[in-house]
A and B are shown apart, each in its own frame.
Chain A
């Protein structure tokens, strides 16, 4: 296609649980998702539990094999490259995890863990590694001397910074951040978001920011993709989606988010019931079982993710009526 750094087309992932004597249950985590990122673009993927957003992140990095569809990095499909090229590609795409306590090996010094990427891909000669690790630590707002310490000596926010430093070690063009601030205190969340924003600007990183929290992605991301039960409900520029959400789910999500300023509050749309199970999704539009505007047609075909206004796409056959 046209210059997209990384692009997913028709991406699907079905997890089957199998065991001796057990009937396989298929969890449809991601279904026919298209996502694309340009160089240096930040896209937020927002959804609640069961939306498939974390799986999507891993699929795009190639950490999970896709059941259907493909992911192309700079135009080349990931499932068709050789193993050696695969390893080389790993340099250019990295991940930051949600849990700052689980994402670092408790038995190794943080400097060594940051240097892993340097060593595997020989980014710099071995003699230079220590200096580079120090530079990376400074880049994320820590002291180079911290390289000698162990993870348990750091706070949650600091560990998250170390995770970011490790991801940046190989000089990636594409970074997946899987709920990197959800486990942190509010005041620390803002610190990390500021950091990510700066790094993105200074290093020209493409960022896929996964979150369950709509307001968090607002300042950091150019575009937002809203997912529900494995499918994309809506996507478009972040501020437009915030200001005028088009899909009924996005509108409900938006209205459910608590707000400080009474002036900003939107009349609450309460979704009835619970989200259906990803192993047994509804036919047609997956959101129809909880949508106040569902009609018979919604149970038929899966609504197409179609253009809606400027640079926006919505998967709802009735979107225009609520505009």
Chain B
């Protein structure tokens, strides 16, 4: 129990640190932040506009007050308003977040359902044809950037073969089949790296577990091969896979931005990219905080799962 509380506390500390880093970014850059935000293409900004922006962003106040206001806002759920159209950042995120989450979930599911069994099989038949082919494929998948995969999928399946739609979105309640069809390609694109990572880690982890003494003991007890495999080998091989899954989610979350862009999936990437281009700082900050927070939460869940699987962590 103490372990659990400690872990939550660490998570909160990290969340606080993330908010601090995000806050400091504005103040750490050389020069006046408002000026930076308003100058585009090397053209100096209008001094009056700069002053207005400074007031709007609260830059006139002492830095500590700014931070407290910022932190207070984050805790209350108020992330400010967009510089472009005054729309509350939180509202925009609330609208978009579920769609992004759906994509992440679908991608993770595909990756795990593919990667775990494939990795186990490859480890058991190491050096065989399956192992070599799938390992090679995994290496290739890791090398192709996610936006390339997305674009090529569109080129191949949507444009050339015309079997899948190129992109877009339809709410599930409206047309479940179409919704899922539109979800397929982006989910596959999201899953491409994660499935390769899960495959590799599972393979390595199962190989390691196979050579452990307790597997030898299990076999010495006369247990059936299936039981040895599931209860002893795979069961112990899962924990490193969890760790690497959690770590890779960061890359996956970044990849989501690219995939949503390629497939016109109306998740958080739309307001994000628009905001970056328009130098809409509060919107960008709000979205970055949200996704980073999500990342921390995912890792916390992974840690909890890890502890559920491995009793030794709970003892520490």
Contacts and interface: CB of A to CB of B under 8 A. Distances in A.
Q: Say if A and B assemble together.
A: yes
A21 B13 CA distance: 11
Contacts of A22: 6
B10 interface: yes
A243 interface: no
Contacts of B9: 21
B45 to A, nearest CB: 44
Contacts of B13: 20
Contacts of B5: 21
A70 B5 CA distance: 41
Q: Is the interface of B mostly helix, strand, loop or mixed?
A: helix
Contacts of A20: 10, 13
Nearest to A19: B6
A106 B6 CA distance: 39
Interface in A97-155: none
Contacts of B10: 20-21
Nearest to A21: B6
Nearest to B316: A22
7 contacts: A20-B10, A20-B13, A21-B5, A21-B6, A21-B9, A21-B10, A22-B6
Q: 3 shortest A-B CB distances, which residue pairs?
A: A21-B6, A21-B9, A22-B6
A20 B5 CA distance: 12
- Taking each of B6, B9, B10, which has the highest tally of chain A beta carbons within 10 Å of its own beta carbon? B6
B3 to A, nearest CB: 10
A203 to B, nearest CB: 43
Nearest to A22: B6
A20 B14 CA distance: 13
Interface in B1-56: 5-6, 9-10, 13
A15 to B, nearest CB: 16
A20 B6 CA distance: 9
Contacts of A21: 5-6, 9-10
A20 B10 CA distance: 8
Nearest to B5: A21
Interface string A16-44: 00001110000000000000000000000
B73 to A, nearest CB: 27
A20 B9 CA distance: 10
A21 B5 CA distance: 9
B115 to A, nearest CB: 33
A186 to B, nearest CB: 24
A280 to B, nearest CB: 15
Contacts of B6: 21-22
